Chain A
Amino acid sequence: AQSVSQHNHHVILSEAASLELGCNYSYGGTVNLFWYVQYPGQHLQLLLKYFSGDPLVKGIKGFEAEFIKSKFSFNLRKPSVQWSDTAEYFCAVNALYGGATNKLIFGTGTLLAVQP
């Protein structure tokens, strides 16, 4: 069965520090990859996604993620975090076999706290 692992459950950073959140998935075929974010008191929203092409994808608010197929990874990065980046971040995978499937598999999430 497909699974998604997020290794960092809780990350605390100071403003202006660099961020990298790990995400690994277990599926050998073609995948679509996503990062969703949930700010305090708000609903989940899409941060960025990878379908094909350039493995380095850029999302909203200065976030980017790199798909490394050989490592089954899709790590999220931001060069300089802000207090407003405090949120929970979820990696998700949509495994494609015989066409698009209809469900996302989510990781357990990483809670990021940015100290001013």
Chain B
Amino acid sequence: GAGVSQSPRYKVAKRGQDVALRCDPISGHVSLFWYQQALGQGPEFLTYFQNEAQLDKSGLPSDRFFAERPEGSVSTLKIQRTQQEDSAVYLCASSLRRANEKLFFGSGTQLSVL
């Protein structure tokens, strides 16, 4: 596609439920990033992939968060046993090579945990 695609656009989960968020980056983009944006805040880094390798997961807030990109294209961010504090917009971005280049963002998945 022309841009970064994320699905679902909105997700409502009951506390304790597992969720999976999908990101389709721009074709050919090597780098893929996940960010978490809480209401009224700027995006906060979660994790970074270069092709299929997860090179940095320092921003994942707990071991309930897990991300993968098994074939170096589509990525999934999984949150297990969701908590209310996980409610946020989850943004995916890709770049041709690295973060110090232009990032192309998706529209995000708005997660609400009740």
Contacts and interface: CB of A to CB of B under 8 A. Distances in A.
A108 B41 contact: yes
B25 interface: no
Given A102-B55, A106-B42, A107-B42, A96 B100 contact: yes
B69 to A, nearest CB: 14
Contact of A49 (B102, B105, B106): B102
Given A44-B43, A44-B91, A109-B42, A104 B105 contact: no
B108 A103 contact: no
Nearest to A96: B100
Contact of A43 (B59, B98, B99, B108): B108
B100 A44 contact: no
A65 to B, nearest CB: 15
Contacts of B1: none
B99 A44 contact: no
B80 interface: no
B105 A90 contact: no
Contacts of A49: 102
B103 interface: yes
B73 to A, nearest CB: 18
Nearest to A6: B42
Contacts of A83: none
Given A42-B107, A106-B43, 11 more contacts: A44-B103, A45-B104, A90-B43, A100-B99, A101-B100, A102-B48, A103-B48, A104-B45, A104-B99, A106-B42, A108-B42
